[in-house]
Every structure is written in structure tokens, then in C-alpha cells.
């Protein structure tokens, strides 16, 4: 995976939040428009400002649609809705990171940082906390114990915010999502966990939460984590008709050798390709030459690109 991106309503406000509060640094800032960008995103008359932010080795891409504006983030969103997606930002000290979020009056989505117990062996010792950015997107800070996660997350070198370990998405059925990410796109399963109990309920802010979690990895970059809620029922489907300029939009960018072949494979397996054809971008502002957007079985957007 190359990176994760999300649509924002006010770029200056979002850049200030991510750089000042979470210590990302700006890697690039571009404004783009034209028919090929409209083809890629499926939004007519699109003019976009795209900012890439860096934290450690990872990138986060923010996109503001200057025209046309989309819909706001659903105000009543819950962590078990199937449009839920976040990035897990690794910290070296949870208490310091939580205090910093409190200092900046960041909106909490968990009751407090949670220490996952020994009754969840594959997650025991992990500390995590959900919160929201200025547009309402969910984010997570996470601290791994020494026996879990990539060893690089134990090398803080004096930094508090270290990088992005993965993006997490709510899925209806793990098997269907594996058919998309593992079988069609080549991700590998890196681990699984059954998470439940009072700490998990307070992390997700969902009473009775019981989750089947599956972590996937590609050859490089952040991973993808499936969150399948076994209980409670009632998680809502991805909004019908949502487009790239709506604030519910996240996209996970994956590099493929050939976009045409990747699109044909997805269409053969009855997955939805959003772009009418591969977009041939006129410049290198977005860091790739050709790309398409597709939806996974639950509506989450994947951007497949050629370098």
C-alpha cells in the first residue's frame, strides 16, 4: 500500500490540525483540475487542492474539492457503521499523546485510552484511543507493547507521534473482504484477533462490541485491518450515491503493475470500478501517471495506480 487519503472541507484548517496537533509535516501541496481528474474521481467540474502530509515513513493525503462541494460527514456516525474508516497513528507514550489531544480540545470518540487485556491474547498490552479530526473523521492513537507490532515502533528517537501502522475499515463479512483484498489485490493475512470486553466497548464506544479483527499487509507501507462486528447488530451500510467530494470519502492507494489488468480482474469478479476508464493524468502532481477508483464489497474506496 502506498498511502491513505481522505476528503476534507477546509484544507488550511485540516493542515493546521494534523501538523500542529499530530506533528505531521507537509510533503506536497498542489491544485489540479481537468478532464482526467474528473475521470479518475467521477466528479464533473472538479477542482481539487491535494496536500500530502508525512509522519515518519508514511504519507496521509488530504483532498479538498474547491468545486463542487460535497456532503458533510454523517453527524450521527458510529464506530460500527460500514463507512467507518480510520488510520492508526503510533505513539511512543500514550499518556503524553492523550494529554496533548486534551490540551488542544480534540473531540474524543473513546471514553479514554484503553489497555486491552490478557483475555485478548493477540492484542493484550496494546493501548488505544479513538478521536475525531475537524471534519469528524475518526482517527486512532495506538501504542504497541514490546512484543507486538513492527519493531520500528519501539524506536521513538525522542518523537511522540511515530507514523501510520494501518487503516481500519468496518466490514460486513470478513470472507467477502478477503476475496477483494487478498485474492484480487494480493494482500496477505498477517494476523487475527477476537476482541471483546469492557475495554473494547469503551474504545469503540459501542456497547456490547464483539469484533473479529483481521490484519492484512502488502509488500510495503501501512496495512489494512478489517473490523467485523459480530455484535451488536445495526451497523449501517455505506451511504448510497456517495462520491469522492463527500466528507465520508476515504481512499486507500495501492500500486499495481498494470491498471487495465487490475480493473479487468475486479470487474470479472463483480467488484465495482468507479472510474469510467483508467485516467491518464497530465502531470505528476498526485505522484502517479494512471489510475482508477474501485469499491470493495462494503463501499470503501481503493485507488489503484501505476507509478
Q: Is 8 helix (H, G, I), strand (E, B) or coil?
A: strand
Rg (CA), the chain: 18
Q: Is 158 left (phi over 0), alpha (psi -120 to 50) or beta?
A: left
What is the percent of the chain with per-residue pLDDT over 70, rounded to a whole number?
100
Q: Identify the CA nearest to 222 among candidates 19, 52, 55, 79.
A: 55
pLDDT value at 56 more than 90? yes
What pLDDT score does 307 carry?
80
> How many Å apart are CA 73 and CA 246, to the nearest integer?
7
Report residue 257's pLDDT band, with 50, 70 and 90 as the boundaries. Answer: very high
| pLDDT tens figures, 111-167 | 999 999 999 999 999 999 999 999 999 999 999 999 999 999 999 999 999 999 999
Report residue 284's pLDDT band, with 50, 70 and 90 as the boundaries. Answer: confident
Mean pLDDT value across the chain: 96
| pLDDT tens figures, 184-225 | 999 999 999 999 999 999 999 999 999 999 999 999 999 999
Residues 79-87 have a mean pLDDT of: 97
Report residue 76's pLDDT band, with 50, 70 and 90 as the boundaries. Answer: very high
Angle at 189 between CA 188 and CA 190, to 5 degrees: 110
138 exposed, middle or buried (CB, 10 Å; 0-12, 13-18, 19+)? Answer: buried
> How many Å apart are CA 209 and CA 229, to the nearest integer?
7
What pLDDT score does 262 carry?
94
What pLDDT score does 41 carry?
93
> How many Å apart are CA 31 and CA 29, to the nearest integer?
7
Terminal Cα distance for the chain, rounded = 12
pLDDT value at 265 more than 90? yes
Amino acid at each position: 500500500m502506498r498511502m491513505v487519503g481522505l476528503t476534507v472541507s477546509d484544507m488550511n484548517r485540516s493542515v493546521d490540525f494534523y501538523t500542529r496537533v499530530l506533528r505531521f509535516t507537509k510533503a506536497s501541496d498542489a491544485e489540479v483540475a481537468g478532464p482526467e481528474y474528473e475521470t479518475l474521481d467521477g466528479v464533473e467540474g472538479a477542482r481539487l487542492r491535494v496536500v500530502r502530509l508525512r509522519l515518519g515513513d508514511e504519507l496521509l493525503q488530504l483532498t479538498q474539492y474547491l468545486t463542487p462541494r460535497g456532503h458533510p460527514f454523517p453527524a450521527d456516525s458510529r464506530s460500527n457503521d460500514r463507512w467507518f474508516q480510520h488510520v492508526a497513528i503510533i505513539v511512543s507514550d500514550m499518556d503524553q499523546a492523550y494529554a496533548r489531544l486534551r490540551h488542544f480540545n480534540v473531540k474524543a470518540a473513546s471514553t479514554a485510552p484503553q489497555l486491552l487485556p490478557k483475555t485478548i491474547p493477540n492484542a493484550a498490552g496494546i493501548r488505544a484511543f479513538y478521536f475525531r479530526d475537524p471534519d469528524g473523521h475518526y482517527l486512532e492513537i495506538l501504542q504497541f507493547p514490546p512484543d507486538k507490532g513492527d519493531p520500528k515502533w519501539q524506536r521513538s528517537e525522542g518523537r511522540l507521534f511515530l507514523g501510520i501502522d494501518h487503516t481500519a475499515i468496518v466490514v460486513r463479512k470478513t470472507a467477502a473482504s478477503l476475496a477483494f483484498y487478498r485474492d484480487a489485490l494480493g494482500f496477505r493475512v498477517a494476523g487475527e484477533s477476537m476482541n471483546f470486553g469492557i475495554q473494547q466497548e469503551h474504545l469503540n464506544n459501542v456497547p456490547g462490541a464483539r469484533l473479529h479483527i483481521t490484519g492484512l499487509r502488502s509488500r510495503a507501507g501501512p496495512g489494512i485491518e478489517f473490523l467485523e462486528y459480530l455484535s451488536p447488530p445495526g451497523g449501517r451500510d455505506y451511504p448510497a450515491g456517495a462520491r469522492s467530494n463527500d466528507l465520508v470519502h476515504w481512499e486507500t492507494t495501492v500500486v499495481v503493475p498494470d491498471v487495465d489488468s487490475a480493473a479487468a480482474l475486479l470487474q470479472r469478479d463483480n467488484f465495482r470500478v468507479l472510474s469510467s476508464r483508467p485516467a491518464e493524468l497530465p502531470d505528476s502532481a498526485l505522484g502517479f501517471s494512471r489510475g482508477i477508483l474501485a469499491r470493495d464489497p462494503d463501499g470503501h474506496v481503493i485507488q489503484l495506480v501505476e507509478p
